[in-house]
């Protein structure tokens, strides 16, 4: 499980928040919701009249030196959980400000740019990434090459704050997990400023817009397996990731933990919303956008889970609405499940070729307020390796290890591994997100963000990362798992 950048959590800050936090319980509970049974951080719901603003009675106090102090005494926060009448009422107390500690690399060797967009810590390649390793795992290791994706990061940065959740699908083996971990680390506001991989001079440079500006809640729904009660298991998982999030960003003295074992009345769709509202109520020195990543986001809709699709769609519905309302700054939904248009792109040679559409079964996930970037020309080369990137990797390894075998690109061009073109020239015409019910969409046409995305890589084929690394492992006698 990877939380934010690579799953490395920070040391937990012990506080006495549980002794100072109170929760008000309105006299009635809608839909049969009841009190949670006594957790110090339990939250109650009721049907009181919603406030005129999303957060009211929240007072920020400016200290004598002009800086922001904490909440003085107890200040009440309240907001609607969703568009209906459910409401959370909270009373928070004062506490001291703590800054999150940076993530420090385990290696003191510099990260050196070699060829193209390939970087290696220490400069000389000695091995290859393992199949289970992600961005920070690779960055921390000496002699492991990594292919940066600055162009894809630049395109992604142009979609920040576009008020739509973003969707990206690729077949298994292409390396979408590694790309997502790259995005997560790029967004994450916790980093080692003395050893930041995004400061490495790679052309084009990683975009500055969005760099290290966000809290990142990085989830993986494939972790939820073998359960008959999907809602309870999902709440348990979200509660644990909530706890790890507070650990990582040292927010225990600012944000109460939601314990799924005691706060049993909460719906899975409430967790992200509540976390986002707590973050919005932080002092300016700690307040930052919340970006949500969900890997394998559609897993629960399949696999025989009872009510899995219904529960998932409600969570995604609330998340998409919160992104549109800018309560959550952004969301990236990632999957390697074929929706009927992705796996058929294997062997496809041009973006002009009509996309395949052969769903094995009706797709069970509803994404009414999301932009599916899987076939957008700007993200054609975001996942997988292009021929240029394969040649750069071969040169980096060859310079360090040597080989009498011919260039690897010859085997690639001979068809020893798959190639794919996912980009679709008809992508814009196929989108229905903003062309449907204008009243429902509040008129947020994403064209102002989409019109500036690049199209120059639309016809550049990519190859599965795992297959490329397997060929490199064979050529140079390197061990991979």
In a domain, 241, yes or no: yes
CB atoms within 10 A of CB 32: 6
CB atoms within 10 A of CB 126: 16
pLDDT of residue 195: 86
Does the pLDDT at position 382 exceed 70? yes
Residue tagged 């190639």 (tokens): 419
Residues in the chain: 481
Mean pLDDT within 7-16: 35
In a domain, 13, yes or no: no
In a domain, 404, yes or no: yes
Q: Which residues contact 131 (CB under 8 A, 6 or more apart)?
A: 466, 469, 480, 481
In a domain, 35, yes or no: no
Q: Give the DSSP H or E segment for 393.
A: helix 387-401
Cβ atoms of 277 and 327 closer than 8 Å: yes
Locate all alpha helices (DSSP H) within 11-93, ordered by sequence: 17-20
| Residue (of 91, 124, 155, 96) closest to 380 by Cα position | 155
In a domain, 303, yes or no: yes
Cβ atoms of 334 and 298 closer than 8 Å: no
Does the pLDDT at position 171 exceed 50? yes
In a domain, 72, yes or no: no
Residue tagged 């009181």 (tokens): 48
Output the six-digit token pair for 67. 């800086």
| Residue (of 293, 336, 292) closest to 176 by Cα position | 336
Q: Return d(Cα 356, Cα 362) in angstroms, integer.
A: 15
Candidate from 146-150, 161-165, 434-438 with smallest mean pLDDT: 434-438
Q: What are phi and psi of 93, to 5 degrees?
A: -115, 175
Q: What is the pLDDT of residues 411-467, one digit of tens each?
A: 999 999 999 999 998 777 666 554 444 444 455 677 777 878 999 999 999 999 999
In a domain, 157, yes or no: yes
Of residues 357 and 291, more confidently modeled:
291
Q: Are strands 215-220 and 290-295 parallel, antiparallel or unpaired?
A: parallel
Does the pLDDT at position 326 exceed 70? yes
pLDDT of residue 313: 95
Does the pLDDT at position 120 exceed 90? yes
Residue tagged 């919603």 (tokens): 50
Of residues 217 and 226, more confidently modeled:
217
pLDDT of residue 84: 40
Q: At what angle do helices 230-249 and 270-280 cross, to 10 degrees?
A: 20
Q: Are strands 215-220 and 118-121 parallel, antiparallel or unpaired?
A: unpaired
Computed on alpha carbons and rounded to an integer, the radius of gyration of the chain in Å comes to: 24
> With a threshold of 0.95, does the pTM exceed it?
no
- For the chain, give the longest Cα–Cα distance: 79
Q: Return d(Cα 152, Cα 164) in angstroms, integer.
A: 18
Q: Return d(Cα 257, Cα 244) in angstroms, integer.
A: 10
Give the structural domain span for 268: 111-476
Output the six-digit token pair for 228. 């008959």
| Residue (of 457, 468, 465, 466) closest to 409 by Cα position | 468
Mean pLDDT within 149-161: 93
pLDDT of residue 193: 87
Q: Which residues contact 52 (CB under 8 A, 6 or more apart)?
A: none
Q: Return d(Cα 315, Cα 299) in angstroms, integer.
A: 13
Query: What Cα–Cα distance (Å) separates residue 457 from each residue in 150, 152, 171, 376, 380?
Result: 13, 10, 19, 10, 7
| Residue (of 229, 11, 202) closest to 115 by Cα position | 202
Cβ atoms of 151 and 389 closer than 8 Å: no
Candidate from 226-235, 403-412, 454-463 with smallest mean pLDDT: 226-235
In a domain, 248, yes or no: yes
State the total domains in the chain. Answer: 1
Q: Give the DSSP H or E segment for 121.
A: strand 118-121
Share of residues in the chain with pLDDT > 90 (%)? 55
Arithmetic mean of pLDDT over the chain: 78
| Cis upstream peptide for 204 (omega within 30°) | yes
215: buried, middle or exposed (CB in 10 Å: 19+, 13-18, 0-12)?
buried
Mean pLDDT within 25-33: 32
Q: At what angle do helices 230-249 and 308-324 cross, to 10 degrees?
A: 40
| Residue (of 317, 328, 303, 406) closest to 365 by Cα position | 317
Output the six-digit token pair for 77. 């926060």
């Amino acid at each position: 499980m990877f939380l934010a950048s690579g799953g490395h959590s920070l040391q937990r800050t012990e506080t006495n928040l549980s002794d100072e936090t109170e929760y008000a319980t309105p006299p009635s509970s809608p839909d049969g919701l009841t009190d949670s049974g006594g957790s110090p951080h339990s939250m109650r719901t009721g049907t009181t009249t919603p406030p005129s603003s999303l957060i009211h009675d929240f007072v920020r106090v400016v200290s004598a030196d002009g800086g922001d102090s904490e909440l003085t005494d107890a200040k009440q926060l309240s907001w609607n959980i969703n568009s209906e009448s459910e409401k959370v009422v909270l009373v928070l107390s004062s506490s001291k400000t703590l800054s999150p500690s940076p993530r420090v690399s385990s290696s003191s060797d510099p990260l050196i740019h070699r060829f193209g967009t390939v970087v290696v810590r220490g400069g000389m390649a000695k091995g290859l990434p393992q199949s289970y390793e992600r961005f920070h795992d690779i960055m921390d290791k000496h002699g492991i090459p990594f292919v940066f994706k600055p162009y894809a990061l630049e395109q992604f940065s142009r979609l920040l704050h576009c008020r739509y959740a973003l969707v990206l699908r690729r077949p298994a083996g292409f390396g979408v997990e590694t790309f997502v971990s790259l995005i997560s680390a790029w967004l994450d506001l916790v980093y080692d400023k003395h050893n930041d991989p995004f400061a490495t001079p790679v052309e084009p440079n990683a975009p500055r817009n969005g760099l290290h500006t966000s809290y990142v809640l990085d989830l993986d729904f494939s972790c939820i397996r073998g359960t008959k009660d999907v809602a309870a298991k999902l709440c348990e998982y979200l509660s644990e990731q909530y706890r790890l999030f507070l650990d990582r960003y040292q927010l225990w003295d600012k944000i109460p933990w939601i314990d799924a074992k005691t706060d049993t009345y909460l719906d899975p769709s409430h967790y992200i919303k509540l976390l986002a509202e707590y973050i919005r109520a932080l002092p300016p020195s700690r307040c930052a956008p919340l970006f949500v990543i969900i890997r394998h986001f559609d897993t629960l809709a399949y696999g025989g889970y009872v009510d899995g699709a219904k529960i998932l769609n409600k969570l995604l519905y609330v998340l998409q609405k919160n992104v549109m309302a800018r309560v959550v700054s952004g969301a990236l939904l990632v999957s390697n499940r074929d929706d009927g248009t992705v796996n058929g792109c294997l062997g496809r040679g041009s973006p002009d070729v009509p996309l395949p559409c052969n769903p094995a079964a009706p797709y069970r996930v509803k994404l009414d307020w999301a932009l599916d970037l899987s076939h957008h020309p700007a993200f054609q080369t975001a996942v997988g390796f292009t021929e240029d990137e394969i040649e750069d990797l071969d040169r980096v390894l060859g310079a360090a290890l040597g080989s009498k075998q011919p260039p690897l690109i010859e085997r690639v061009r001979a068809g020893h591994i798959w190639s794919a073109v996912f980009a679709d020239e008809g992508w814009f015409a196929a989108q229905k997100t903003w062309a449907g019910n204008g009243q429902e969409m509040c008129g947020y046409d994403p064209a102002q963000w989409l019109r500036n995305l690049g199209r120059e890589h639309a016809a550049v084929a990519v190859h599965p990362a795992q297959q490329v690394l397997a060929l490199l492992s064979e050529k140079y006698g390197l061990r991979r798992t």
